[in-house]
Chains A and B, each alone.
Chain A
Amino acid sequence: MNLSLEEKQRITHLIEEGIMRSTDRLGKMSKTEWAVMSSSTNEVPAVRMLSWFQRSKDEHVAVHFRSGEGVPLDFLIIFSEKSAQSVTGAVTKPYAAKLDGFANLMELTIGEVSNIVAQSVIGAMADEFDKTIILSIPEVHRGPKASLLGVVLEAYDGREDVLLMSHVEMFSEDLSADCAMVIIVNADVLHELVRNQKPN
């Protein structure tokens, strides 16, 4: 289902506002300054997104969130293995000795970092639409990009949902990381939210 140009601009603006919020929070977590080098958001057909993701066979780490109440949506954040490792190293450094015993430290840390990023983006939408959106706890998956996308596409219904993809490149002096975000949201809910958004 397609968004109108106005709806697309509105949603893109909110996602990008959320991404800017998330760099401040990432900076605080990793004790280094982050900047967004590039960011783009597009409504993409599922088939095209899958074929784009199939280009990379490398291992990636993906974190999946759902929201039920009020605004049902699925949210997936995908990091390359290298990005996931460097972000984990930066965030856990001050607590390295105490976190040493966790066998799955990267998954746990990327889950928490993605939670912060996802909450920033969802928070920008929720505030604009005067709603409360509570995300599920993070579910972390590893594998090639296309199979990770499959995790959220299971929830996608082409007749009723909108599929948005944001590609974000973030950079800090000490490390570089990039991630992709995929958001699936019910089109009727999105139309209604944009129609009823609170006045600026």
Chain B
Amino acid sequence: MKREIDIEQLLRWRMERAEAGAPLAPRAAHLLDIARPWWETWPERFESYTRRLGALQISYGYAMSELHHGHTGYPVPTLIARDDDEFEAPARVLYMSVRDGRLRLRFQIDPIPAPDRSFEVTFVTEAGLRPILSTFAELSVDGEYRLDVELPEELAATWESLRVTDQMPFRFILRPAPITA
């Protein structure tokens, strides 16, 4: 026997089937574990990075003032932290926009560290060097790192008025992103 059926009913039927056959829910402990940011998992490592990041203003003061004369905005003090190596390299913010609660940002590191096609970018407050955000940035064909991330409400409201020519209220810790398929 046929009864009239439309696409909506068909999709809902499929959803019911999927619901009935859903795998077990992940355990809360597992979710809590993998949701924890790296600076909570390795606080000593974070502290070591921020110590070095905090000192950047002194060692990079001149270079940064030089960079500031370029057409881009203030350089952002940046620490690139690999497993076996750490080095400093100011990042030039080329574009920054906060709209609809999302941050879109493009930056350049000079020289570009060749092996790192993507970084996990940790935003650290300029004042107090506290971690505030972590996301991933991909290297584009133009040699720029690009990121696009949803911001917490408070941060979005605060950063919405920031322009690329403003001094950024953050510093970066860049960690090479794990390679994914």
Co-complex (A, B): no
